[in-house]
Structure 1
Amino acid sequence: MMEYLPVILFATIFLLILFGFPVAFTLGGLSVLVGVLVFDVDFFYLLSLRVYGTMQNFVLLAVPLFVFMGIMLEKSGIAERLLETMALLFGRFRGGLAISVVIVGAMLAASTGIVGATVVTMGLISLPTMLKRGYGPRLSTGVIASSGTLGQIIPPSVVLVLLGSVLNVSVGDLFLAAIVPGVGLVGCYLLYVIGYSIIFPDRAPAMPREEVEAFRKKGFTGDVIKSFVFPFMLILAVLGSIFAGIASPTEAAGVGAFGALILTAAQGKLKFQILKEVTRETTMLTSMVFMILVGATAFSLVFRGLEGDKIFLQLIENANMSPYAFLFVVMLIVFVAGFFIDFIEIVFIIVPVVAPLFVAMGIDLIWVGILLAINLQTSFLTPPFGFALFYLKGVAPPEVKTKHLYQGIIPFVLIQILFLVLIVLFPEMTRILL
């Protein structure tokens, strides 16, 4: 019975979370209960040391700083101005509004990395405009939801910070490795939009030429410069300082948070009420992440204490699974889990279990981290619990039904799966900039 206890623990926690029990308390509570029963009271001493060690992890300081930066930029109005400007730039092309949403989604991902804020902002601004211009609800919702989740893979990404901590690899290396796949995924989205607008021109029409010209006469050049300069300055400050070796990801996150404050002040939006809202939301999100992290620390300690990683490795060896077969199984489990549970839960429950097995098989953890990040991105998009779909439905006009969201997102989920396969076949894509 004891030899199967790690598997039973893992399965029980997974099932309880599926039934809606709070993740942090399920992970921590059940793990502590099993730990005390198996290892006696000394387990608490080990757990306190492990939790203290986790909380001393300097890299994890980047999480609240990047969250603060993203929420502050949402309140500053920079995203709104960027969307409006891009719509005018590409509006005269067929499918131009959809193209502008994808590009803005990528830029917001590189400057905020907060999925909820990006999807809600683009949903409020772009969706009514796209529907009014004759765009189909499926394409409109699919483009907005998928572009809003690009913050999962394009640095600076909170997901990559958490994965770097769990996989015990450099977050800076993960950021560098994610740039080419991130840009490639944006390119795939753009190709799909262009192809769709050619095949179905009536569902992705161009804006009337007269309207575009009228907009362009009202200080258009100045608006373009203002709209692009501010986000690029922030991206350069955050990512440039990391890649140039000037700052660590945590220090760069501090630069980003301070930069977001300055940009908000430059927009005339930095008021006490906004600062209060941003700090409250940052505290809530950060507390949620770290409570789950403490629970995951308890689970990891018990699971490895029961030699669960060795049991799983033995099962794989007995099944004669090759490294690629094991990778496929892990990616499939993560993909299916994404239908039901949040990406943070997947990072802290599944990844710590499989990470030692990848190391034992000699698989590059940087490559695995990028594959996991792209796979986790789909967890925001896949029904029934895709959070990006929930965010978008919450701000969508009444005529946009849930079925439109589900139907519109399917092509983009398929694009991500195909792109994932492409990175598996060509792992050097993650090593170009390293």
Structure 2
Amino acid sequence: MSQWIGLVMLVGVALGAMATGLPVWGVLISLAAMGAAASVVLDPSSAGVLAALPSRLVGLLESDLLQALPLFVFMGALLNRLPLARILFRAALHPFGGARGATLALGAILGPMNGSVSANAIALTRAIEPALAEHEIAPAESVALLSVASTLGVLVPPSLVLILLGDAMMAAHTIALNATGRAGRIINTQDVFRGAMLPAGLFLAACLLLAFLRREPGRRLPKPTLGEAAVAVITVGFIGGLLVGVALGYFYAVEAAAMGAVGLLVAGLLSRQLDLPRLKAALDDTLSMTGALMALLVAATTFTLVFRVLGSDRLVASWMEAVPGGPLGILGAGLGLIFLAAFVLDAFEIIFVLVPILLPPILMRVEDAQWVAVLTLLVLQTSFLLPPLGYALTMTRAAATRRAALGSVMKALLPFILVQLAVTAAVICWPGLTHGGRSPAPTVAAPSDAEVTRRLREIAPPADLLEIGPPKF
């Protein structure tokens, strides 16, 4: 009985977010409170487990990785408040064949710093839509380009989505290895960064090629001034250097976020583009976004604890074990649920709520955690784009000032969706794409008790060396 209460709670998250309009963290806390009360009524001994929630939250907030969140959010707030978006757009017109390519390139640069898909869609639409109108890009194509650009932050490292997914994957992989007894290296955030780089590069290159093929050769493109070109080169070089440094392991995500935030702050002050009102607005945006993320993280942690106390995680795991098709069938079922949830939930909400529930059973059967992490990102990105309910598409259409019929937007989005599906299919067929073209390191089963005993005997010293007494001559 109690296991079904947890499933009702899980369904209630999506329904509550759509029906009430409340923040998802508020829905999670409300449902968790009701689930905890039901758990104590049905099993009074569960109160002892629920009493561990404060220490669990304190331990969660002591994570060094969470220090990167406000720093990355601050970077995104500075990028949105400074006129960098317009400068980068003008500087990218010539290298990328016009406004279409410049929009996608800008999404790849700014998307990882803007946080959630909804925030990225709104920020890019406000900054770039007027420029697209000036370049006579049709409203439907403008919405399609901005939707694709707003999802690039899901896959292109370093981003908040990848940082948080890396942390969630590490916890899920730990649970899976402990449950199965396999011996292997636990995935971390840098593994997710490295795994996403090649698929992200393939998708971005294919999208830029589509935009380049749609260019207008006869149109005169405005050239950036020397100062704008210098700012663009320095900004792109700086962000690219952070990406390469994190991916190669020269510094951690927290250090990259700190360097990026300080670098943008100093650049804004030296160029006199960052005055006191803009700095105050950027700090307000940072506190607002960070507070929302922390509230969501605390609420999701509470929700998943109650979910496990009710035993609903074991019910989900048993259902996934019964899915036909072996490991691939289980992987497909789990990713299918994430795909459906992405129509109503943002990436952060899925990472905090669904990944801790669905990924451990998947990783118990699928050994390549890095491959699973990248497929999760690709599924999220596909769902955010897919009409008519795609989250990024919905947010972009709501923020756009020029209206476009849904049918026209779907037609403009079709080439990008086909590219997305092609990259996803390639990653499914060739998992080595998430390992830089190499085969993943195999995991091995934990040795049995008899095997451990045999190995200890092999390395133990001879019995005569263990005798205690005076030395023999």
Specify the TM-score bucket, using the shorter chain as the normaliser. 0.7 to 0.9
1:361 deviates by: 0.8
Aligned to 2:156, which of 154, 157, 169?
154
Distance 1:9 1:360 in 2: 24
Larger radius of gyration: 2
1:102 deviates by: 2.0
The alignment's TM-score, normalised by the length of structure 1, stands at: 0.86
1:258 deviates by: 1.1
Tell me if the contact between 2:116 and 2:161 (Cα under 8 Å) persists in the aligned partners: no
1:81 deviates by: 0.8
Deviates more, 1:267-276 or 1:40-49: 40-49
Partner of 1:224: 229
Partner of 2:455: none
Tell me if the contact between 1:138 and 1:408 (Cα under 8 Å) persists in the aligned partners: yes
Partner of 1:32: 33
2:15 corresponds to which letter in structure 1?
A: L
Distance 1:396 1:13 in 2: 28
1:56 deviates by: 1.2
Give matches, 1:17-416, under 5 Å. 17-20=17-20, 21-39=22-40, 40=44, 41-91=47-97, 96-109=98-111, 115=117, 119-120=121-122, 122-124=124-126, 126-168=128-170, 169-195=187-213, 197=214, 204-208=215-219, 211-212=220-221, 215-216=222-223, 223-236=228-241, 238-383=242-387, 386-393=390-397, 396-398=400-402, 400=404, 404-416=408-420
2:143 corresponds to which letter in structure 1?
A: T
1:426 deviates by: 1.2
Deviates more, 1:50-59 or 1:340-349: 340-349
1:230 to 1:319, Cα distance in 2 relative to 1, 3 A:
closer
Task: Tell me the C-alpha RMSD between the 2 structures.
Answer: 2.8
2:190 corresponds to which letter in structure 1?
A: G
Number of aligned residues: 416
2:267 corresponds to which letter in structure 1?
A: L
1:404 to 1:287, Cα distance in 2 relative to 1, 3 A:
farther
**Unaligned runs of at least 5 residues, structure 1:** 198-203
Distance 1:134 1:274 in 2: 31
Verify: 1:11 aligned to 2:11, yes or no: yes
1:75 corresponds to which letter in structure 2?
A: R
Q: Deviations over 1:75-115 (max 9, x none)?
A: 22222111112214455xxxx32122222322333666665
1:269 deviates by: 1.5
1:149 is paired with a residue whose SS is: helix
1:406 deviates by: 4.6
1:281 deviates by: 1.0
Tell me if the contact between 2:147 and 2:385 (Cα under 8 Å) persists in the aligned partners: yes
Distance 2:8 2:131 in 1: 51
Q: Could you tell me the percent identity over the aligned residues?
A: 27
Deviates more, 1:387-396 or 1:334-343: 387-396
Distance 1:127 1:363 in 2: 44
**Unaligned runs of at least 5 residues, structure 2:** 171-186, 439-473
